[in-house]
Structure 1
Amino acid sequence: MDEIVKAALKKWPNVPACRGWLALDARGQWYMRDERIQAAGPFPQVKGSRITHDKLREFIHRNYEADERGQWYFQNGPQRVYVELESTPWVWRVRSRGPGQPPAVSSHTGRDVAEVRESLLDEAGRLYLVTDLGPGLVHSQDMHDAAQAIEEGWWQPQDVRAADLPGRYGYVLSPQAAEASLRASG
Structure 2
Amino acid sequence: MTTPVPHWPDVPACYGWLSLDARGNWRLKEERIAHPGLIAFLNAHYAHDAEGNWLVNNGPQRVYVRLERAPLVLRLQPDGRLSSHTGRAVTPRAPVCIDEEGCVVLATDAGPGVVDDRDLASFVAELRDGQGQPASDETLLATLTGTAVEALFWRGHRLVACPRSALAARFGFQLDPQAADAAAGPRGSA
**TM-score calculated relative to the size of structure 2:** 0.76
2:131 maps to none
1:149 and 2:126 correspond: yes
1:175 maps to 177
**TM-score calculated relative to the size of structure 1:** 0.77
Q: CA deviation at 1:108?
A: 0.5
Q: Is the 8 A contact 1:150 1:156 kept in 2?
A: no
1:1-186 alignment to 2 at 5 Å? Answer: 11-33=7-29, 48-97=30-79, 103-151=80-128, 153-154=154-155, 155-183=157-185
Residues in 1 aligned to 2:170 and 2:7: alpha-carbon distance in whole angstroms = 37
Q: CA deviation at 1:27?
A: 0.8
Q: Is the 8 A contact 1:72 1:172 kept in 2?
A: yes
Residues 136-168 of structure 1 show CA distances to partners (whole Å, capped at 9, x for unaligned) of 110011112212222465243111111111111
Gaps of 5+ in 2: 1-5, 129-133, 135-153
Q: CA deviation at 1:96?
A: 3.6
Aligned residues: 157
Residues in 2 aligned to 1:105 and 1:149: alpha-carbon distance in whole angstroms = 13
Distance 1:177 1:109, change over 3 A: same
Q: CA deviation at 1:19?
A: 0.6
The runs of at least 4 aligned residues of structure 1 exceeding 4 Å deviation read: none
Higher-Rg member (1/2): 2
Distance 1:164 1:26, change over 3 A: same
Gaps of 5+ in 1: 1-9, 34-47, 98-102
Q: CA deviation at 1:181?
A: 2.4
Residues in 2 aligned to 1:127 and 1:179: alpha-carbon distance in whole angstroms = 27
